[in-house]
Chain A
Amino acid sequence: MSGSTLRRSGVLSLCVLLAACGAGVSRRVLPSPHAAMLLPEPVASAPTLELPSVHRAVLPSGLVVHVVSRPDALMGHVALRASPGALLSQGQIGRDRVIARLLEDVGHARVSVDRGGLRIGRDVSLATVVVEAARLVTMADDPALSESAVFRASALVSEAQQHPQAIDVLRTTRLYGENTLEGELSSRQLRIPQPSLLEVRARLAELLAPPRTSLVIVGREPAETVIAALTEALAGLPEAEPLAAAVPPPSTLRPRPQLHALGAELPVALVRVSVVGPGEHEADAAGFALAIRALAGTHVSHLWTMLRAEGDSYVVQTRVEPQVGHVLATIQLSVRPADVDEAVTLVLSEVARLAHPRQISERVLATARQLELTAELARVERASELAASILDAELAGVGLEAHASRFAALSSASAGDVAAAFSRYLPPEALCIEVVAPTDQLANLPPVPGGTEVSPQRR
């Protein structure tokens, strides 16, 4: 904690004390008008994870199909991952982003492009899960694709490029190194082409070729019925040669600068801290997930308490996004512009402090653990997230049962495991820090090991 925060804490405490002594009315404790509760505070029992059974089949075309049958489901979900390996090469990303937007528009689907390829998911009616699953696989030939839809998708992606997300570029180059797929995916300089419909169909056919594609169907019908119907529907699907080569793993380069500050006249200042962690199914993944929670993801974490108690920050958010072979963790703070330097200092001191097991209190660890466990339960409950988990597990070469191992690891992770994750993945020099604040506040930012770059004022 910086000196000025300490000073302000002292002043604040004095004010509070004076207010408490002088303003008798404000400190009055009213009698409760309610009757006493009829039971003592109950104790929660430990959560348990029940994974749904997943039926896996490979169709004659080579298409891998996973079916989950949920008798109580109100709707179905179909999801597909196309893993084209080296086909997803650099230089194609602009076009693939247009294609992803096109599929969102025409296919009413959620689409993402990442190192593993293309992932598409869609909620569907229970009665049409097979039809919609087949439609997803044969999207390249979908009659709904049109030249005007391609034009619109290009325009929308170009427009999105103009949004003020410049700081994303620094983050990806800092975290993954220059000239990488991730860098290209988030680049504002990316050239967004307007491909022809013919080019779109050809590219989709290439990406969605069966042996490189996995499909998940979540519905109510028994798996055998679904697979039989799908086999019939996709009987005409040709085979394609599988591709062995994959996109190389992310670089560990950390080019300077580590802290990027952007001048902007905003009523609040934003601080975003990002870091790359282990893949979800790796041995130390549980420790890392709990470390991020312990740092800022609970209302009892020291960082949250300090920022909130001092009134420096309204929003303290953490997010861990599963990526292929790693996770991207983000801590985002919105703070009073005058306090932006203290917020950055506090983050840096916290990651250093929490690398020691004794600094991770039992209360913080228990809260972090409970939150992660409930989040895991919710994940297998939502059809879309369940489907995504199945596809990610397939890509990682593990089954859905890997989630049970993750659940067990989360349940038993110790303060030592969490501190080890801080040491390995969250040393101060590994953090990528972005600050958006009024220019006159940027001069006081603390020094960081990887250097600071200040960009001029944006309007």
Chain B
Amino acid sequence: MKRWTTLISAGVTRRGARLVVVVVLALLAVAGSARAQTVDEDALAIERSFLSLERHALENGVLVVLDPRAGASTVVVEVCVAVGTRDDPPGRTGLAHLGEHVLFPEGQGGRHHIASLQALGGVEANGVTLPDRTQYFVRVAPGALDAVLWHEARRFRDTLVHLDAEGLAHHREVVREEQRLRRLSALRLASRWDLLDPEGPYTNDEGLDEDLDRIDLDVMRAFLAEAYVPSRMTVVISGRFEAARALQTLEATFGTLRAATAAGGRPSWTFAPFARERRFELDRPQASGRVTLAWRTPVYGAPGDAELDLAAMAMTRMLAERLLRGGLALTAEARQSSRALTSLFILDVALAPGATPAAALAEIDAILAELRAVPPSLEALEADRRARLHDLAVTLDDPLPRARLLGHSMAAGERIGLSYDPRADVARYAAITPSSLHESLQRWLDPARRVIAVTPPRRPR
């Protein structure tokens, strides 16, 4: 009852308080049965959604993931190619990113590639270059699927044939323009792996200006011929479509790409936590000062990765209780950001007006010490597990993020180096115990092996 006393004294009117009691009792009655079901409901829904999923390999090595979903209204095609910024050779940073742009040929047959997709009703058509992979995606009405597969296959067949110096120069300028625009947007340290972990494998996300100039037609042609081969491609179709027909169309389109072995190995990198604590201050003030912490943590799907997902939820909850309610921060969030070669556990806090980085850091350290001292309660663990599965369900409910997740995870092992399969997520999270979570916290979130970055607050005008 203490809770209600606090509630009423916090400003609930008497009539409101009576209403609260009535409504909350009613909610508890409804939720009573729901609470026990929640994990099972979400887990079952996620597992059920994969029942129709099929995985095939075309003769030339293209992997195919077919994910039909009867309740969808649209269908998404995603092509994931296992080449990314971490494959950029020294002195050629930006090669993979520029390659992605080149794969959106302009003027081929008198049309920009996106224009061809748009003529079919393709919305959200785009490409993205990540450290591990490059992804191309588009959403269409179900009746346009065959035509979209035809155009996407043509993109990978013909770009190399038609690429010329003029086209490459144009794309180079577009990439430069994109970088200029990116610099205009506010710098969020939490997404800058190159600053948080400059000695890690993901440092050259953006092409350097002078390096882009060194990527001439021969370099680009060699890159496309070696990297954009069927054995590095995964095609995912997710949404409303008929699997057997889609497979036939894929064989007649993507199946005609010439089989070739990807040349060269990827740069090797051995995972190890940070050797020591490193502190630095960013020289670009922001409206709110920020404190950002990062630890190197196990890769996607490795033991400890799922535990740290839940640890991030527990940490976020405690940050809310202590830093937000304590008036030290405006926003505070922790997350396990998982990648194939190393993950980063990132904690990002926007300081409240007047709060100092030192005070926030002291409170963060106190929270960390508490979490490392005692295993979480089973109840707290269950709540975090439910929340995590809910987040996963949200991602998997929309064909576009679902296809993007399936694209890189289902090309596991030989393509990207991931040992992660979203179909195993429910089991992965179900296996976590208070002691396994505690052990991961102690092992990976070591206060002596982390990065602390401070962004000073901008002075008011």
Contact = CB atoms under 8 A, between A and B. Distances in A.
Contact of A126 (B41, B119, B173, B288): B41
B22 A37 contact: no
B147 interface: yes
Given A75-B393, A146-B325, A37 B161 contact: no
B342 to A, nearest CB: 30
A237 interface: yes
Given A29-B162, A37-B157, A44-B141, A74 B255 contact: no
A109 interface: no
Contact of A232 (B26, B70, B144, B353): B26
Interface string B13-43: 1011111101100110111001001101110
A9 interface: no
A159 B253 contact: no
Contacts of B393: 74-75, 125-126
A315 B45 contact: no
B146 interface: yes
Given A34-B157, A38-B253, A143-B7, A44 B143 contact: yes
A127 B141 CA distance: 31
Contact of B181 (A25, A149, A220, A268): A268
Contact of A367 (B11, B118, B253, B287): B118
B44 to A, nearest CB: 9
A160 to B, nearest CB: 9
Interface stretch (B89-97, B164-172, B273-281): B164-172
Contacts of B73: 49-50, 377-378, 380-381
Interface string B101-125: 0000010000110110011111110
Interface in A99-155: 123-128, 130-131, 134-135, 138, 140-141, 143, 145-149, 151-152, 155
A44 B241 CA distance: 13
A196 B184 CA distance: 37
Contact of B27 (A71, A135, A155, A220): A135
A36 interface: yes
A381 B12 contact: no
Contacts of A38: 251-253, 255-256
B161 A266 contact: no
A437 B166 CA distance: 28
Interface in B419-458: none
Contact of A44 (B37, B121, B173): B121
Contact of B161 (A30, A138, A141): A30
Given A75-B393, A370-B121, A198 B11 contact: yes
Interface residues of A, number: 102
Contact of A138 (B17, B23, B158): B23
Interface in A236-277: 236-238, 266-268
Given A23-B165, A45-B143, A72-B49, A267 B121 contact: no
B121 A128 contact: no
Given A39-B253, A74-B46, A130 B150 contact: no
Nearest to B113: A299
B11 A235 contact: no
Given A34-B157, A44-B147, A268-B181, A232 B29 contact: yes
A4 interface: no
A138 B124 CA distance: 37
Interface string A13-39: 000100110010111111111111111
A74 B45 contact: yes
Nearest to A386: B73
B203 interface: no
Contact of A201 (B12, B34, B38, B352): B12
A37 B253 contact: yes
B241 to A, nearest CB: 13
Q: Which 7 residue pairs spanning A and B have beta carbons closest together?
A: A236-B22, A72-B71, A26-B165, A45-B143, A47-B141, A370-B121, A314-B177
Given A46-B143, A201-B11, 14 more contacts: A26-B164, A34-B157, A44-B141, A123-B390, A125-B390, A127-B42, A131-B30, A141-B12, A141-B19, A152-B330, A155-B330, A267-B184, A311-B170, A378-B124
